[in-house]
Structure 1
Amino acid sequence: MLLNRSSLIEMMNGTGEPEVRLERSLDLYMERFGQLEPQIRAFVPEADAELRLGREKALLLHTYSEADSKPALFGVPVAVKDLLHVEGLPTRAGSQLPADLLTGPEGSLVLRLRFLGALIAGKTVTEEFAYNGPIATRNPHNTAHTPGGSSAGSAAAVAAGICPLAVGTQTLRSVIAPASFCGVVGFKPSYGRVPLDGVLLLSPSFDTIGFFTQDLPGMEAAAALLVPDWEAIPAISARKPVLGVPAGVYMELMSPEVKAVFIAQIGILEQLGYQVRHVDMPWKDEFIYGDAMIRFIEGELAREHEHWFAEHREEYGLPVQEAILRGRQITDEELEQYRGQQMILRRDLKELMVQEGIDLWVSPAQGGTAPKVEENNTGWAGMAAIWGFAGSPSISLPAATIGSMPLGFQCIGTYGEDETLLAWARELWPHIAYNSAEA
């Protein structure tokens, strides 16, 4: 195991003179990067990383040398998925297309990180355009296994303790699956809650920026700083949340081992006084099994890449080429139907939660633990995709291991009520969490 503790809260609360704090955090980052990156390969190779980080350090010291207080993320190294534009770094998106074609100005999230004093640790590895393609990144728990899908590098960097915070994106499962596989906390806010400017998009109707930390307190701190208009909830109430478990085919989208672990987790929570309700869901089972969500995504992918694809088709990997060609066959009318279904499901889920008295949906974060690299599988969409289709906020909490590999416990909240989701997750955390850095 290539795991080290890396607490965002501890780094944010560091003491000492600004230059000493910066030296300490940068030295720790470079030390762990040097030790672990050759085996994990979480980051996109960068020719002059030390020089760039040195410039960022100097700028921070110059900016805040006379300030009485330092910004919240002062000197904290933050890894950023290589779909987000970062000044001074090319955007490659796991692709062979020319970087100068893809690279653009920084968006509001990266600008916010800089405003808060973060050091941009580097770009993390993603599958090609977050869709599909080979990745070099390995799981820090066991390098024979995948770290997950397109936010693989971000999750692996946090799991290994190279940095305490990383940014990813999710379309179908690309925050929740890597978080589950790597034994870290992965939070996907409600669709549209974090602006997507400065991000190369896969599917604008799905894409959502998300975050990775090693523990829930760190994620709560990150959300409060990085999710616009965040209003933290100190405590929900004296009662425990009512948990909803989807009935039907959804709960069959997992291995027997995962199902046994989840049933045991639910049993423990019931013994602790939690109410659990098994509920028929407002979606058709065949929608989860079928290809509707993939068609939706591929249709939008084709439109996002229309101009680039015309001139650079042969530079795309075969899986993305084929997806774009399929997407071209999907009509605008079909895409509009899917967008309408998104709104209907979002409304129906909210009404169902009220009707059944449910505060939080829960399920395994993935249908299995991290597959071996040679299996060429970076995760399963089933447990996460339907919630992303509805735009719901979700979080994966490290909660179990099967055969020494992590498995996340997924909590899903009401669209737009991200603060409530994290507050209820805080209530559950002591009963289900394990420390992946010490597992």
Structure 2
Amino acid sequence: MLLNNSSLTEMMTGTDELETSLGHSLDLLMERFGQLEPHIRAFVPEADVEQRLRREKDLLLRTYSGAEAKPALFGIPVAIKDLLHVDGLPTRAGSQLSAELLTGAEGSLVTKLRALGAVIAGKTVTEEFAYNGPIATRNPHNTGHTPGGSSAGSAAAVAAGICPLAVGTQTLRSVIAPASFCGVVGFKPSYGRVPLDGVLLFSPSFDTIGFFTQDLPGMEAAAALLVPGWQAPPAVMSRKPVLGIPRGVYMELMSPEVKAAFTTQITVLEQLGYRIRHVDMPWKDEFIYGDAMIRFVQGELAREHERWFADHREEYGLPVQEAILRGKQIPDEELEQYRGQQMILRRDLKELMVQEGIDLWVSPAQGGTAPKVEENNTGWAGLAAIWGFAGSPSISLPAATIGNMPLGFQCIGTHGEDEALLAWARELWPHIAYNSAEA
């Protein structure tokens, strides 16, 4: 295992002495980078990374020297998925297309991180255009296994303890899967809650910026700083949340070992007084099990890449080429129908939660633990994609191990009520964090 503690909240409450705080943070970053990065390969290779970090250090010291208080993320290294533009660093998105073609203006999230005093640790590895393709990154729990995708490098960097916070994106399962596989907390906010400016888009009707931390307190701190309009929930909730579990094919999209681990977790929660409701869902099983969501994202992918694909087709990897060619054949009218269905499902889920008195939907985060690298599989969309289709916020909490590999417990809330999701997750956290029996 290549795992080290890297608590965001501990780093945020470190010494107030600027140069000491910043020096310690960057020394630790470079020490762990040197020890771990050759094995997990979470970051896009960057020439002269130490020189860039020294420049960032000097700028921070000049900016905040004499200030009454340092900003919340002063000197804290944050990794950024290579779909987000960062001034001074190229964007390649895991592809062979030129950085000159793809790189754009830095977005508001990265600019906000800088304003909060964060140090950009580097760009992290992603599957090609967040869709599919080979990745060099390995799982810090066992380098023979994938870290998941497409936010592979972001999850692996946090799990290994190279940095305490990383940014990813999710279309179908690209935050929830790597969080589950790497044993970290992965939070995908509600669709539209975090601005997507400065992001190389895959499927604009799905794409959502997400975050990785090692623990839930760190995620709460990150969300309060980085999710616009965040309203701090009560420190202690007045009751236990009511948990909903979908009926139907949804709960069959997992291995017997995962189902056994989840059943154990639910039994523990019931014994602690949590109410569990098994509910018929406002979707058809064939929608989850079929190819409609894949058609939707491929159709949007084709349109996002229309300006490049004709001239640079051979520079795309074969899986992305094939996806774009399929997407080009999908009519605009079909895509509009999917967008309408998104709004209907979002409404129906909210109404169902009110009707049944449900605060959170819960399920395993993935149908299995991290596959071996040679299996060429970086995750399953089944247990995550439908919630993304509805725009719901979701979070994966490290909650079990199977064969010494992590498995996340997924909590899903109501669109726009991200604060409540994290507050309810806080109530569950002490009872499900790695406390289930070894399956």
1:83 aligns to 2:83 (yes or no): yes
CA contact under 8 A between 2:399 and 2:407: conserved in structure 1? Answer: yes
SS in 1 for 2:383: helix
Distance 2:140 2:253 in 1: 26
Which residue number in structure 1 is paired with residue 28 of structure 2? Answer: 28
Gaps of 5+ in 2: none
Which residue number in structure 2 is paired with residue 300 of structure 1? Answer: 300
Distance 1:347 1:335 in 2: 19
Distance 1:294 1:109 in 2: 28
Gaps of 5+ in 1: none
SS in 2 for 1:45: coil
Return the letter of the residue paired with 1:41: R
SS in 2 for 1:382: coil
Which residue number in structure 1 is paired with residue 8 of structure 2? Answer: 8
Deviation larger for 14-23 or 42-51:
14-23
How far is 1:66 from its partner?
1.3
Distance 1:48 1:107 in 2: 24
Which residue number in structure 2 is paired with residue 382 of structure 1? Answer: 382
1:111-122 matches, within 5 Å, as 111-122=111-122
1:291 aligns to 2:288 (yes or no): no
Distance 1:172 1:277 in 2: 26
How far is 1:16 from its partner?
4.1
SS in 2 for 1:177: helix
Which residue number in structure 2 is paired with residue 427 of structure 1? Answer: 427
CA contact under 8 A between 2:237 and 2:423: conserved in structure 1? Answer: no
Deviation larger for 233-242 or 344-353:
233-242
Distance 1:235 1:247 in 2: 32
Which residue number in structure 2 is paired with residue 183 of structure 1? Answer: 183
CA contact under 8 A between 1:399 and 1:409: conserved in structure 2? Answer: yes
Distance 1:10 1:149 in 2: 28
How far is 1:279 from its partner?
0.3
CA contact under 8 A between 1:236 and 1:420: conserved in structure 2? Answer: no
Which residue number in structure 2 is paired with residue 329 of structure 1? Answer: 329
Return the letter of the residue paired with 1:187: F
Distance 1:16 1:127 in 2: 39
Q: For each residue in 1:188-233, what CA deviation from the matched residue of structure 2 results, as whole angstroms up to 9, or x when unmatched? A: 0000000000000000000000000000000000000000000010
Which residue number in structure 2 is paired with residue 400 of structure 1? Answer: 400
Deviation larger for 5-14 or 237-246:
237-246
Which residue number in structure 2 is paired with residue 363 of structure 1? Answer: 363
Return the letter of the residue paired with 1:207: D
How far is 1:236 from its partner?
6.0
Q: CA RMSD in A?
A: 0.8
Return the letter of the residue paired with 2:348: D
CA contact under 8 A between 1:175 and 1:188: conserved in structure 2? Answer: yes
Return the letter of the residue paired with 1:392: S
How far is 1:433 from its partner?
1.0
Which residue number in structure 2 is paired with residue 373 of structure 1? Answer: 373
Return the letter of the residue paired with 1:356: E
CA contact under 8 A between 2:108 and 2:197: conserved in structure 1? Answer: yes
Return the letter of the residue paired with 1:7: S
Distance 1:189 1:270 in 2: 27
Distance 1:118 1:101 in 2: 27
How far is 1:42 from its partner?
0.1
CA contact under 8 A between 1:172 and 1:384: conserved in structure 2? Answer: yes
SS in 1 for 2:78: strand
Return the letter of the residue paired with 1:113: L
Which residue number in structure 2 is paired with residue 206 of structure 1? Answer: 206
Q: For each residue in 1:80-115, what CA deviation from the matched residue of structure 2 results, as whole angstroms up to 9, or x when unmatched? A: 000000011000000000101000110000000000
Q: For each residue in 1:377-397, what CA deviation from the matched residue of structure 2 results, as whole angstroms up to 9, or x when unmatched? A: 001000000000000000000
Distance 2:126 2:221 in 1: 25
1:19-418 matches, within 5 Å, as 19-235=19-235, 237-418=237-418
Distance 1:7 1:98 in 2: 36
Distance 2:343 2:259 in 1: 30
CA contact under 8 A between 1:236 and 1:424: conserved in structure 2? Answer: no
CA contact under 8 A between 1:7 and 1:214: conserved in structure 2? Answer: yes
SS in 2 for 1:194: coil
SS in 2 for 1:154: helix
CA contact under 8 A between 2:16 and 2:70: conserved in structure 1? Answer: no
Deviation larger for 233-242 or 217-226:
233-242
- Runs of 4+ in structure 1 over 4 Å off: none
Quick one: percent identity of the two aligned structures? 87
How far is 1:235 from its partner?
3.9
How far is 1:238 from its partner?
2.3
Return the letter of the residue paired with 2:357: G
Distance 2:403 2:416 in 1: 36
Distance 2:63 2:50 in 1: 20
How far is 1:434 from its partner?
3.3
How far is 1:239 from its partner?
1.4
CA contact under 8 A between 1:250 and 1:383: conserved in structure 2? Answer: yes
SS in 2 for 1:122: strand
Return the letter of the residue paired with 1:70: K
Return the letter of the residue paired with 2:219: M
Deviation larger for 19-28 or 232-241:
232-241
TM-score by length of 2: 0.98
SS in 2 for 1:395: strand
SS in 1 for 2:169: strand
How far is 1:17 from its partner?
1.5
Return the letter of the residue paired with 1:257: E
CA contact under 8 A between 1:8 and 1:165: conserved in structure 2? Answer: yes
CA contact under 8 A between 1:79 and 1:154: conserved in structure 2? Answer: yes
Return the letter of the residue paired with 1:386: I
Distance 1:196 1:35 in 2: 33
CA contact under 8 A between 2:237 and 2:427: conserved in structure 1? Answer: no
Return the letter of the residue paired with 1:19: E
Deviation larger for 422-431 or 233-242:
233-242
Return the letter of the residue paired with 2:89: L
SS in 1 for 2:187: strand
Distance 1:433 1:77 in 2: 25
SS in 2 for 1:401: strand
Distance 1:289 1:233 in 2: 36
How far is 1:234 from its partner?
1.9
